[in-house]
Amino acid sequence: MFNVNITGEYVVFFIFATIIIGGAVLMISLEKVVHMVISMAAAFLGLAGMYVLLDAEFVAFVQVLIYAGAVSILMIFGIMMTKHNGEAAEPVKPLHETLAVIGALCLFGLLFYAIRASDFQSTAAFHPGEDNTLAIGELLFTGYIVPFELLSILLTVAFIGAIALAKKEAE
């Protein structure tokens, strides 16, 4: 079942997995909201390292810029803009929390069983290209130009909408 060769990739994978899961579990269990966001940023950075391990350098740097940079700072802005007394409120509904734990564990069991039962076999070796960024750019601007343009429209609409929503009502 777990017949994994201890290679360099496996060791690095294990280190990054520890960082990611540690950050995620700390995010769930810490007391203060700002600390939660910081531990989440650690998990995002670990994921970026994992992407480098998977030959996806461009996505790794996008991850650092967007998630570890922009989204974390946006969440901290959200915390600062709304009033927090520092402490995250404790859940008062034990039944609700127990059901959430059971649901998450059931989903994990299902996924784990599916992953273990599947037979993944790679037929070809992965060629990330001479220059990962160049290859992604060529693919993006030749094969996927329509989704790219749709995404740019989506981003524009979303940010205008965000400004319109967060703008103070003139009363």
Any idea what DSSP says for residue 75? H
Residue 9 within binding range of other proteins, rule CB under 8 A:
yes
Residue 145 within binding range of other proteins, rule CB under 8 A:
no
DSSP lists the bridge partners of residue 87 as 32
The footprint of other proteins on this chain (CB under 8 A) covers a number of residues equal to 86
We find the least distance from the C-beta atom of residue 40 to other proteins, in angstroms, to be 5
Return the structure tokens found at 116.
Answer: 């273990």
Other beta carbons within 10 angstroms of residue 47's beta carbon come to 20
Positions 85 through 124 that interact with other proteins (CB under 8 A) = 88-89, 91, 96-97, 99-101, 103-105, 107-108, 111-112, 115-116, 118, 120-124
Positions 33 through 72 that interact with other proteins (CB under 8 A) = 33, 36-37, 40, 43-44, 47, 50-51, 54-56, 58-59, 62-63, 66-67, 70-71
- What is the distance, to the nearest Å, from the Cα of residue 36 to the centroid of all Cα atoms in its chain? 14
Return the structure tokens found at 149.
Answer: 């343009």
Residue partners of 135: CB distance under 8 A and separation at least 6:
128, 129
Residue 78 within binding range of other proteins, rule CB under 8 A:
yes
